[in-house]
């Protein structure tokens, strides 16, 4: 059986199918009320060097619900990094203050570096445009909860597939379970070649299109929409060329069919009309709320409070 005790969670690429299954099953048990108090006596630090609402607050809520203590940095300007302290020195210092560190950082590889600098588990809460593994865990849990399975699904991913770390992690996980993927983006924001090459190596069925109508033709079970990641564009004019490219409204949902599930890691800007929120197809707020049991499960596993 997969063991998580003491383990850092940096990338979906480090996970086996058994690991992912274990996280989903543990989340089901946590949400079903099986465990309580499994973080008692544990302290978790949340170090966020990039903005966040869902990830930081759901981690903090998860710690509180598990009976643990949490502290952290929500604004890097209020930390000693603003005085010139290196990332490495901050990590070495804080690792002596807690049992688990949760880190979000704009630089790809920052969480990996932190995990190599200290002996406590480090959880990657998003490193630049690279990976967002805990978002994928909650996405998988939500898909299983809503559709009853994690394989044999037709999943469209739409929007900023170049800079969107959520879709990079999710693509890898869904390919492990055996799903049919369709990537919908403007040509300048397509899924990075190294991820497409990796998919080709798996022999899995996937295609890339630049409009939703083409994707809808073959039928989709899930449309996973992402925000265009304005903060990752070096040139604001380049952002201006793709901003507002896609917008999902009630007509789009109708075109996609009554069984389509619309997911989004949030925050959204303008890519999903608020009128869609009230449809039974919209599951993005359920998805966001599943961040709590998923992160409770993960923290329980890495601290050994859940075995």
Report helix, strand or coil for 291. helix
- Residue identified by tokens 């300007």 is 77
Shortest distance in whole angstroms from residue 127 CB to ligand CP: 12
Query: Is residue 52 at the binding interface for ligand CP, with CB under 6 A as the rule?
Result: yes
Single out the segment in contact with ligand CP by CB under 6 A; choices: 17-25, 39-47, 49-57, 196-204: 49-57
Single out the segment in contact with ligand CP by CB under 6 A; choices: 35-43, 53-61, 178-186, 242-250: 53-61
Single out the segment in contact with ligand CP by CB under 6 A; choices: 20-28, 48-56, 90-98, 141-149: 48-56
- Please, which residue, 114 or 306, has the CB nearer to ligand CP? 114
Q: Are 191 and 162 in contact (CB under 8 A)?
A: yes
Query: Is residue 227 at the binding interface for ligand CP, with CB under 6 A as the rule?
Result: no
- Please, which residue, 20 or 263, has the CB nearer to ligand CP? 263
- Tell me, what DSSP letter sits at residue 131? B
Query: Is residue 265 at the binding interface for ligand CP, with CB under 6 A as the rule?
Result: yes
Among 135, 171, 281, 290, binds ligand CP (CB under 6 A): 135
- Residue identified by tokens 């899995």 is 204
β-pair partners for 194: none
Q: Could you give the count of Cα atoms lying within 13 Å of 95 in the half-sphere of its Cβ?
A: 18
Q: Are 110 and 87 in contact (CB under 8 A)?
A: yes
Cα–Cα distance, 32 to 219 (Å, whole number): 33
Q: At 23, list the tokens.
A: 């996280």
Among 42, 54, 65, 261, binds ligand CP (CB under 6 A): 54
Among 267, 270, 277, 285, binds ligand CP (CB under 6 A): 267
Burial class (CB in 10 A: 0-12, 13-18, 19+), 11: buried
Q: Name the residues that contact ligand CP, by CB under 6 A.
A: 52-55, 126, 135, 265-267
């Amino acid at each position: 059986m997969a063991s998580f005790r003491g383990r850092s969670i940096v990338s979906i690429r480090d996970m086996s199918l058994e690991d992912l299954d274990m996280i989903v099953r543990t989340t089901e048990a946590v949400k079903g009320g099986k465990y309580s108090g499994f973080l008692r006596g544990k302290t978790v630090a949340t170090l966020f060097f990039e903005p966040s609402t869902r990830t930081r607050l759901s981690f903090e809520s998860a710690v509180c619900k598990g009976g643990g203590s949490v502290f952290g940095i929500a604004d890097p300007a209020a930390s000693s990094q603003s005085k010139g302290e290196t990332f490495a020195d901050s990590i070495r210092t804080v690792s002596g203050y807690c049992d688990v560190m949760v880190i979000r950082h704009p630089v790809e590889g920052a969480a990996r570096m932190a995990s190599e600098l200290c002996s406590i588990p480090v959880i990657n809460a998003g490193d630049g445009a690279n990976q967002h593994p805990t978002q994928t865990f909650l996405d998988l849990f939500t898909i299983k909860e809503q559709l009853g399975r994690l394989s044999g699904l037709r999943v469209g991913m739409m929007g900023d597939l170049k800079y969107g770390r959520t879709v990079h992690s999710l693509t890898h996980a869904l390919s492990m379970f055996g799903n049919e993927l369709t990537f919908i983006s403007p040509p300048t924001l397509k899924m990075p070649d190294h991820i497409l090459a990796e998919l080709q190596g798996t022999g899995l069925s996937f295609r890339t299109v630049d409009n939703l109508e083409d994707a809808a033709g073959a039928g989709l079970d899930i449309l996973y929409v992402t925000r265009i990641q304005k903060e990752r564009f070096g040139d604001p004019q380049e952002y201006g060329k793709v901003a507002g490219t896609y917008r999902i409204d009630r007509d789009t949902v109708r075109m996609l069919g009554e069984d389509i599930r619309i997911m989004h890691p949030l925050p959204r800007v303008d890519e999903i009309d608020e009128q869609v929120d009230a449809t039974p197809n919209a599951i993005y707020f359920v998805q966001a709320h599943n961040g709590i049991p998923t992160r409770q499960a993960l923290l329980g596993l890495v601290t050994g409070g859940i075995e």
